[in-house]
């Protein structure tokens, strides 16, 4: 079964690559990037061989704990999981979860992230080649550690996805994801600050952090070789036992969720799908095509887990920045006050991915003779309805927490033009690239088997162009710290550039859609 599934995965990958040059380029870039990291890390691990046991222990435990936690955090927050082999596809075959799990595990590791993780872990052998004991402990730790990484990402996303799908837990899960992301960011940032603050103590702090990391579930297995090298065999045994129990627990949890997907592969109706007629959302916008688009997308912001998870994703950056600065005694009030501007900069990316999220349902826009510009305007309205209140709250909160109320003018002078520019750019960029996104109700952490390149291009071009168009304003606002009135000038210029960008984004993006509806549909429905 393992060989069959791995072969299936390779066949699927090969066929996907055959269909588009961009996927080949994406794969090569991904592999080169992974290779560079692997070479760098393995070189470091080899170099550790010639340092003390203590330093090797601290560095490796900390690094691999971070790697393991990263598998969970990144699959929840950023990348999603690679479901080239979608378990629900096996639903009609007479197989049980435990029969296909080994195969899914191995084939899941066949991919740049999985291979990189395996190679980097093998590098540990070099670091611990200090005698038979440590080497044996490392040999035992590598497969268990790699399995922990993989199982954490699968079981974690499955648990969160099922929570997100049930209406009752959706809001809770959304908060949960945000909290996980924030706490990881905050801890990392604080650790960095503390270590940076007192260079003399850096070594002691490293040892302390590694000590704590080695007792977290993410670090148990990676601390085993270190214990062995120190000759603390009892400790090594305890942690090995804990790590094995963790793997077994994760395996069972993953099996539980897989079994459910094998027996309920369809996005099942969970009841309670009734809504109130004539709600506020329908009366919020004018009864026009653009108003219709706005109301429909606003419904989706509330009812579609992908959008709910998206809000969390966009909020994490600014909130981490604010919290770390507030918690840190040496935090900069300036950063706290300006953190919400980061969200202003990011919301364009949300408009840019909107078309892809509609999926094949977009045929309705294409066949109804809706003008492209109306589609663009409607999406802008709903995005503003969702994000503007959040932004106002965050900005007031930021100014309040920083205690620097006098910064209101520079903050406003940066934020409002940045919103306009980013929305305008996103409106146009959204018509350039579309990709097949997982449908609503599907696991929002499932990576589209091909979303990669266009999604990345859409995100980075939106961010980059928005930034370039905002430089005059940002420059003037920075200058206003010496000459106050320049902030007003920045605001006026920024408003002008922003208004032109939105106008051009709607006009040009709309015209592009009018010409290219069939191509947009083809890009979205390609599978």
Q: Which residues lie near other proteins (CB under 8 A)?
A: 267, 269, 271, 273-277, 282, 287-289, 291-293, 295-296, 299-300, 303-304, 358-361, 363-371, 439-441, 514, 517-519, 521-522, 525
Residue 10: CB minimum distance to other proteins, A: 22
Give Cα 368 to chain centroid, integer Å. 35
Q: Which is nearer to other proteins, 11 or 525 (CB)?
A: 525
Q: Which is nearer to other proteins, 275 or 393 (CB)?
A: 275
Reduced to 3 states (helix: H, G, I; strand: E, B; else coil), residue 439 is coil
Tell me the C-alpha distance between 244 and 213, whole Å.
17
Residue 257: CB minimum distance to other proteins, A: 21
CA 463, 29, 83: angle at the middle one, nearest 5?
Answer: 85
Residues 6+ apart with CB under 8 A from 373: 506, 507, 509, 510, 511
Residue 306: CB minimum distance to other proteins, A: 10
Residue 308: CB minimum distance to other proteins, A: 12
Residue 152: CB minimum distance to other proteins, A: 31
Contact 68, 148 (CB under 8 A): yes
Residue 254: CB minimum distance to other proteins, A: 27
Residue 203: CB minimum distance to other proteins, A: 54
Q: Which is nearer to other proteins, 292 or 317 (CB)?
A: 292
Q: Which is nearer to other proteins, 154 or 365 (CB)?
A: 365
Tell me the C-alpha distance between 198 and 194, whole Å.
7
Contact 435, 455 (CB under 8 A): yes
Q: Is 391 exposed, middle or buried (0-12, 13-18, 19+ CB in 10 A)?
A: buried
**Among 47, 243, 72, 70, residue whose Cα is nearest residue 142:** 243
Residue 247: CB minimum distance to other proteins, A: 37
Structural element, H or E, at residue 446? strand 446-447
Tell me the C-alpha distance between 179 and 431, whole Å.
33
Q: Which is nearer to other proteins, 14 or 276 (CB)?
A: 276
CA 269, 272, 278: angle at the middle one, nearest 5?
Answer: 120
Q: Is 169 exposed, middle or buried (0-12, 13-18, 19+ CB in 10 A)?
A: middle
How many Cβ atoms sit within 10 Å of the Cβ of residue 415? Answer: 25
Residue 68: CB minimum distance to other proteins, A: 36
Q: Which is nearer to other proteins, 263 or 367 (CB)?
A: 367
Residue 359: CB minimum distance to other proteins, A: 6
What are 175's two structure tokens?
């908060």
Q: Which is nearer to other proteins, 256 or 515 (CB)?
A: 515
Q: Which is nearer to other proteins, 43 or 364 (CB)?
A: 364
Tell me, what DSSP letter sits at residue 405?
Answer: G
Reduced to 3 states (helix: H, G, I; strand: E, B; else coil), residue 81 is strand
Contact 290, 370 (CB under 8 A): no
Within 72-204, strands assigned E span: 81-82
Residue 133: CB minimum distance to other proteins, A: 58
Q: Which is nearer to other proteins, 305 or 451 (CB)?
A: 305
Q: Which is nearer to other proteins, 200 or 276 (CB)?
A: 276
Q: Which is nearer to other proteins, 259 or 304 (CB)?
A: 304
Distances (CA, A) of 508 to 102, 180, 307, 371, 464: 51, 40, 26, 12, 19
Residue 514: CB minimum distance to other proteins, A: 8
Contact 114, 85 (CB under 8 A): no
Q: Which is nearer to other proteins, 38 or 293 (CB)?
A: 293
Q: Which is nearer to other proteins, 171 or 519 (CB)?
A: 519
Tell me the C-alpha distance between 320 and 77, whole Å.
14
Residue 228: CB minimum distance to other proteins, A: 54
- In sequence order, what DSSP letters do the residues of 3-50 get, joined into one string? HHHHHHHHHHHHHHHHH-HHHHHHHHHHHHHHHHHHHHHHHHHHHHTT
Buried b (16+ CB within 10 A) or exposed e, 245-259: ebbeebbebbbebbe
């Amino acid at each position: 079964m393992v060989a069959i599934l791995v072969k299936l995965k390779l066949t699927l990958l090969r066929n996907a690559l055959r269909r588009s040059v961009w996927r080949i380029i994406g794969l090569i870039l991904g592999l080169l990037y992974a290779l560079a990291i692997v070479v760098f890390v393995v070189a470091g691990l080899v170099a550790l061989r010639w340092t003390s046991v203590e330093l090797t222990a601290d560095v490796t435990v900390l690094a691999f704990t971070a790697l393991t936690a990263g598998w969970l955090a990144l699959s929840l927050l950023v990348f999603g999981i690679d479901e080239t082999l979608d378990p629900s596809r096996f639903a009609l075959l007479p197989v049980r979860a435990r029969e296909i799990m080994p195969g899914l595990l191995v084939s899941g590791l066949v991919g740049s992230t999985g291979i990189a993780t395996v190679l980097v872990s093998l590098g540990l052998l070099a670091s611990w080649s200090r005698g038979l004991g440590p080497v044996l402990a490392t040999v035992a730790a590598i497969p268990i550690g790699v399995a922990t990484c993989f199982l954490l990402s699968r079981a974690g996303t499955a648990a969160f996805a099922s929570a997100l799908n049930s209406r009752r837990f959706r809001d809770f899960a959304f908060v949960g994801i945000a909290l996980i992301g924030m706490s990881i960011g905050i801890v990392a940032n604080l650790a960095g600050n503390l270590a940076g603050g007192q260079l003399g103590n850096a070594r002691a702090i490293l040892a302390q952090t590694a000590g704590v990391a080695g007792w977290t579930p993410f670090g148990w297995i990676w601390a085993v070789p270190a214990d062995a090298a120190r000759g603390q065999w009892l400790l090594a045994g305890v942690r090995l036992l804990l790590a094995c129990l963790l793997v077994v627990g994760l395996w069972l949890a993953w099996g539980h969720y897989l079994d459910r997907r094998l027996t309920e592969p369809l996005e099942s109706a969970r009841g309670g799908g009734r809504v109130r007629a004539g709600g506020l959302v329908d009366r919020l916008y004018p009864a026009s095509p653009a108003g219709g688009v706005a109301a429909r997308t606003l419904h989706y912001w509330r009812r579609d887990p992908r959008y709910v998870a998206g809000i969390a994703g966009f909020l994490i950056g600014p909130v981490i920045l604010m919290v770390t600065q507030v918690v840190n005694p040496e935090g900069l009030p300036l950063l706290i006050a300006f953190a919400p501007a980061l969200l202003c900069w990011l919301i364009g990316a949300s408009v840019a991915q909107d078309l892809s999220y509609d999926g094949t349902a977009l045929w309705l826009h294409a066949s109804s003779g809706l003008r492209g510009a109306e589609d663009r305007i409607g999406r802008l309205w709903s995005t503003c309805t969702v994000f503007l209140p959040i932004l106002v709250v965050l900005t007031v909160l930021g100014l309040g927490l920083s205690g620097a109320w006098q910064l209101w003018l520079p903050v406003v002078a940066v934020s409002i033009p940045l919103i306009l520019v980013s929305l305008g750019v996103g409106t146009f960029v959204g018509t350039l690239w579309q990709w097949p996104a997982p449908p609503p109700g599907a696991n929002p952490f499932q990576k589209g088997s091909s979303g990669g390149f266009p999604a990345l291009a859409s995100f980075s071009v939106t961010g980059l162009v928005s930034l370039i168009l905002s430089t005059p304003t940002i420059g003037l606002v920075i200058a206003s710290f010496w000459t106050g009135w320049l902030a007003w000038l920045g605001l006026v210029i920024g408003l002008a550039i922003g208004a032109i960008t939105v106008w051009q984004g709607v006009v040009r993006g709309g015209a592009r859609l009018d010409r290219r509806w069939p191509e947009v549909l083809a890009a979205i429905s390609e599978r």
